[in-house]
Structure 1
Amino acid sequence: MKGMYVIKVKGVAKIPDYVQLRDEQFTLLAYFRVDRPDKSLDKVGLAHKSEYIMSLIKDLPFGQILKLEL
Structure 2
Amino acid sequence: MYIIKVKGIAKIPDYVQLRDEKFTLLAYFRVDRPDKSLEKLGFGDKQEKIMSFINELPFGQVTKLDI
Q: Which residue pairs with 2:31 in the alignment?
A: 34
Unaligned stretches of 5+ residues in structure 2: none
CA shift for structure 1 position 23: 0.2
Q: Provide the aligned C-alpha RMSD in A.
A: 0.6
* In structure 1, distance between residues paired with 2:33 and 2:55: 13
The structure whose residues are more often strand, as a share, is 1
| SS state at 1:30 partner | strand
CA shift for structure 1 position 39: 0.3
Unaligned stretches of 5+ residues in structure 1: none
CA shift for structure 1 position 45: 0.7
* In structure 2, distance between residues paired with 1:13 and 1:21: 23
The 4+ residue runs of structure 1 with deviation greater than 6 A are none
Identity %: 75
Structural mapping, 1:1-70, within 5 Å: 4-70=1-67
Paired positions, count: 67
TM-score, normalisation: structure 2: 0.96
CA shift for structure 1 position 60: 0.4
